[in-house]
């Protein structure tokens, strides 16, 4: 039982649930209702969507494993009581599981791409796998680039669902149709949300892990540019997020989605303000850990807002 608990901790199962939930809500609360409103059906069958989702989860799980594999020296300092590798699961088994998950995830990605007649889309998972490897071995130890890579991959987990819709990949005419433009706009907004909120959380995690990162020779943003600069960038991203949501609220106000506006205000924008206040006062790892947890909740409430498309479209 202890081994299974360690294994699920190693693959960050709550984060994998986030990914699955995001893709499920996007497919069945956004893509499907938008297509049905114009008398069309989704390009992916239920089975194909499940395989695509599983593919993404497996590649992400492999990424979490390889990240811990290369972070052992850092984790000894930052979170010695939470370590799994070398205590419960050996490095050899971790590398084996990383390989298995990556191979399975990439294979499933190519199967779905082949079934939809767009085999080149299978390389999406190959690119993700490679980026996660280079992130763990190099990018995360550099200022900004590691944060950007992870944030792009987070946004890609949203966008990838849209890649498989013929309204987006089939032709320029399909993209420029009312349905195509609507799908691109909605998916684009959620991808932007995912990118910004992920950037904020990654910078906050860098602030939390400064001690271990510095001793391992990492040059993350707060180490290379200073804590104050890292906080200012976070504040700028929080402002960008709030403005983005405000623009969305103006749009849905015109549509009469007043409940959705109230939801966004209470469960996304106000928590962002709370994060700003906490970040201003934060100075210890436990402070940043609390902020990181709140940002993760904002990520969840943002994802759940997709339900309104199911209700109102």
User: What confidence category does residue 214 fall into, taking pLDDT thresholds of 50, 70 and 90?
Assistant: confident
* Nearest of 310, 309, 235, 304 to residue 268 by alpha carbon: 304
Find the mean pLDDT for residues 254-258: 93
Highest-confidence segment of 18-27, 31-40, 115-124: 18-27
∠ CA 84-88-89, rounded to 5°: 80
* Nearest of 102, 134, 104, 107 to residue 122 by alpha carbon: 107
Residue 240 and residue 196 in contact, taking contact as beta carbons nearer than 8 Å: yes
This prediction has a pTM of 0.93
Query: What per-residue confidence (pLDDT) applies to 64?
Result: 94
What is the residue range of 253's domain?
2-312
Structure tokens at 150: 């992870």
Query: What per-residue confidence (pLDDT) applies to 302?
Result: 96
Query: What per-residue confidence (pLDDT) applies to 169?
Result: 66
What is the tally of structural domains in the chain? 1
Q: Could you tell me where the DSSP H helices lie in the chain?
A: 2-10, 13-25, 32-37, 46-70, 72-78, 91-115, 123-137, 145-163, 166-169, 172-176, 178-208, 210-215, 221-225, 227-255, 258-264, 270-281, 285-304, 307-312
Query: 89 has which bridge partners?
Result: 85
């Amino acid at each position: 039982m202890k081994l299974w608990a360690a294994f699920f901790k190693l693959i960050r199962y709550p984060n994998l649930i986030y990914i699955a939930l995001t893709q499920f809500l996007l497919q069945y609360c956004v893509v499907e209702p938008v297509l049905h409103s114009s008398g069309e059906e989704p390009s992916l069958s239920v089975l194909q969507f499940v395989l695509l989702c599983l593919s993404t989860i497996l590649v992400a799980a492999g990424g979490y494993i390889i990240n811990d594999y290369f972070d052992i020296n850092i984790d000894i300092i930052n979170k010695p009581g939470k370590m799994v590798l070398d205590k419960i699961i050996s490095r050899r088994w971790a590398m084996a599981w990383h390989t298995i998950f990556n191979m399975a995830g990439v294979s499933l990605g190519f199967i779905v791409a082949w079934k939809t007649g767009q085999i080149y889309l299978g390389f999406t998972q190959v690119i993700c796998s490679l980026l996660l490897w280079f992130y763990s071995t190099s990018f995360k130890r550099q200022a900004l680039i590691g944060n950007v890579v992870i944030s792009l991959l987070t946004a890609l987990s949203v966008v990838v669902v849209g890649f498989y819709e013929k309204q987006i990949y089939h032709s320029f005419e399909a993209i420029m149709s009312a349905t195509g433009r609507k799908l691109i706009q909605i998916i684009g907004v959620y991808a932007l949300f995912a990118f910004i909120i992920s950037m904020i959380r990654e910078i906050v995690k860098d602030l939390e892990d400064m001690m271990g990162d510095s001793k391992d020779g990492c040059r993350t943003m707060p180490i290379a540019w200073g804590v104050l600069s890292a906080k200012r960038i976070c504040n700028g991203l929080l402002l960008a997020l709030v403005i983005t949501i405000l623009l969305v609220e103006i749009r849905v106000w015109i549509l009469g989605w007043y409940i959705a506006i109230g939801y966004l205000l209470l469960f996304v924008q106000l928590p962002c303000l709370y994060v700003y206040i906490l970040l201003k006062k934060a100075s210890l790892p436990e402070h940043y850990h609390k902020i990181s947890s709140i940002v993760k909740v904002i990520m969840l409430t943002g994802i759940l807002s997709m339900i309104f498309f199911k209700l109102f479209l």
